[in-house]
Amino acid sequence: MIPLSWYLIFAALLFCVGLFGVMARRNAVAVLMSIELMLNAVNVNLLAFWRYLYPDVQAQIFVVIVLAAAAAEAVIGLALIISVYRRRKTVFADDLTLLKG
């Protein structure tokens, strides 16, 4: 059987990819997708822990909640991006500097 650590390493890598995407990609849609990646990395972790450490049904609830949250987040995120695009005609993160002090 594949040991737990493999899953964890995989999830960490996936998370890092997502993190990189969030920080490095300039396109807001890509950033959103990277966030999805990070969330799913967490899901992988959760599933792995469930399978190896707490094999009962309640632990799976977390995954479902995360999936639901990710879905909601994607919906709101995309809606925001479209709204931004309509106003500013761009989805490049570097152009969106309204918070500049």
Partner 1 sequence: MDILVWFIPLPPLLAFFAIVLYSNPRKALSHSIAIGGALLSWLMGMIVFIAAITRPDLRAHPIGSVINWLPVANGWFQIGVRIDPLSAVVLFFVVWTVLGIFLYSVGYQNFGQPAGEHDHPGLPPEGAAIRVRKGLTHHVMSIEPLYSRFFALISLFAFAMLLLVVSDNLLTLYIGWEIMGFCSYALIGFWYGKKSARDAAIKAFLTTRVGDMFLFIGLIALYVQTGSLSYAGSLESSAALAKLAAPAGFLGLTWAGLIGILIFIGVVGKSAQFPLHVWLPDAMEGPTPVSAMIHAATMVSAGVYLAIRIFPLVTLGWQQGAPITAAMTVMAAIGTFTALFAASIAVTQNDIKRVLAYSTISQLGFMIAALGVGAYVAAVFHLMTHAFFKGLLFLGSGSVIHGMEHGAMHAQGDQPAEGHPTGEHVDPQDMFNMGGLKDRMPITFWTFLAGGMALSGLPLVTAGFWSKDEILAGAFNGNHLLIFIVLAISALLTAFYTMRQITLTFLGQPRTEAARHAQENTRTMTIPLIVLAVFAVAAGWVGIPRSFPGLGAISSNPLESFVGTMIPAWLEGHADVAGSSIPLLTSLLVSLLGLYVGYMVYRKVDAGAEDPLRRPLGAWYAWAQNRYGIDALYHTLFVRPAVWLSEVFTYQILDKKIIDGILEGIARGTLGLGSLMRRFIDVALVNRAGDLTGSGVRGLGGEMRKAQTGKVQQYMLLAVLLTVLVGAVLFFILVRA
Other Cβ atoms less than 10 A from the Cβ of 80: the count is 12
Q: Are 84 and 28 in contact (CB under 8 A)?
A: yes
Q: Of 56 and 94, which CB lies nearer to partner 1 in the complex structure? A: 94
Up-side HSE of residue 96: CA atoms within 13 Å toward CB?
15
In the complex, minimum distance from the CB of residue 19 to partner 1, in angstroms, rounded to a whole number: 7
Strand stretches in 42-89, DSSP E: none
In the complex, minimum distance from the CB of residue 90 to partner 1, in angstroms, rounded to a whole number: 14
Cα 43 to its chain centre, rounded Å, is 10
Q: Of 22 and 66, which CB lies nearer to partner 1 in the complex structure? A: 22
In the complex, minimum distance from the CB of residue 80 to partner 1, in angstroms, rounded to a whole number: 12
What does the binding site for partner 1 look like in residue numbers (CB under 8 A)? 19, 22-24, 31, 93-94, 96-101
Q: Of 22 and 63, which CB lies nearer to partner 1 in the complex structure? A: 22
Q: Of 4 and 24, which CB lies nearer to partner 1 in the complex structure? A: 24
The two tokens of residue 19 are 């993190």
In the complex, minimum distance from the CB of residue 99 to partner 1, in angstroms, rounded to a whole number: 4
The two tokens of residue 89 are 């005609």
